[in-house]
Amino acid sequence: MGTITKALNLLNHFCPGRAEIGLTEFRTLSGQDKATVHRHLIELAANGFLEQNPVTRGYRLGPAILRLAAVRERLFPARTIVAPIVERLASELGELVHVSLREGLHLSPLIHHDALIHGTRVYFDEAELLPLHATASGHAMLAFGPEHLLPDVLKDDLPATTAHTITDPVRLTEIVDDVRVCGFAFVDQGFEADVSSFAAPLFGDQQEAIGTIAVAVPTLRMTDDMKRRIRAVLPGTAAEVTDKLGGVVPAHLKRIWADAA
């Protein structure tokens, strides 16, 4: 692992509930030597990716990240483009909808929206990377993304986050094959207990999935009727998002989606 990766990984330890991280905590979280961590922190801070709280001496995510995010959004306004579609689908279904983009062997949340009409809600954290093997989005990504993804994911053991998580390589391969045929993915409590999800792939200009759109529903509310409603609208919405992002849905998948409708 290169120096750059080690340093950038430090940034991934922030999450809600861990807003500020000290040197010692970073050491335990990253498993690296204190001196190494310290120099990396200093260098990240010098570049504005972190900032140090002078009182607690803890480190926080810095302003450079916001600036770069603004640049990216300006150059490639994915969030802005996708937001209204996600909101529309969320209110149409009354459930949580999220769009994620692939980031290596994970999915990185781009945006999410919850209709907030129910008392129980799916907790969704835009800070958290989604694993490919445990989520509906991940299965959709594996099915329609670059070919090397599935073998890469299977290189390591698949960690289980619930009792339902798929951890068997053979089973995962079967499921992914199935997703290729169906044109969408369904996962029941694979990542979080009591949450079931549907997901469909989003494409770039290369006919390879670059991300996914998903609906996450508390398992209790995932009735047959709800499943039907989601299946009826998800492919069309995925195609719409792909189109708005300047991508192209592969012809064979277009056919699958049309046949299902």
Binding site for DNA (CB under 7 A): 2-4, 6, 22-25, 32-36, 38-42, 52, 57-58
End-to-end alpha carbon distance in the chain: 47
Q: Kindly tell me which of 76 and 92 has the beta carbon lying closer to a second copy.
A: 76
Give 49-54 contacts, CB < 8 A, sequence gap 24+. Answer: 49/11, 50/10, 50/11, 53/20
151 burial level (CB within 10 Å; 0-12, 13-18, 19+): exposed
Q: Using the rule CB under 8 A, give the single segment among 30-38, 201-209, 228-236, 239-247 that binds a second copy.
A: 201-209
Q: Are strands 209-218 and 96-103 parallel, antiparallel or unpaired?
A: antiparallel
Closest to 214 (Cα-Cα) out of 199, 229, 234: 199
Rounded to an integer, what is the distance from CA 31 to the centroid of its chain?
Answer: 25
Q: How many chain residues interact with a second copy (CB under 8 A)? A: 55
7 touches a second copy by CB under 8 A: yes
Q: Kindly tell me which of 104 and 159 has the beta carbon lying closer to a second copy.
A: 104
181 touches a second copy by CB under 8 A: no
* H-run or E-run covering 239: helix 224-244
Q: Are residues 176 and 150 in contact, defined by beta-carbon separation less than 8 angstroms? A: yes
Q: Are residues 133 and 145 in contact, defined by beta-carbon separation less than 8 angstroms? A: no
Q: What does 47 bind: DNA, a second copy, none (CB cut-off 5 to 8 Å by kind)? A: a second copy
Q: Kindly tell me which of 6 and 60 has the beta carbon lying closer to DNA.
A: 6
Q: Using the rule CB under 8 A, give the single segment among 7-15, 167-175, 225-233, 252-260 that binds a second copy.
A: 7-15
Q: Kindly tell me which of 167 and 206 has the beta carbon lying closer to DNA.
A: 206
Q: What does 69 bind: a second copy, DNA, none (CB cut-off 5 to 8 Å by kind)? A: a second copy
Residues at the contact surface with a second copy, assessed by CB under 8 A: 2-5, 7-9, 11, 14-16, 19, 39-40, 43-44, 46-49, 54-55, 60-76, 78-79, 101-104, 108-110, 126-127, 129, 204-206, 208
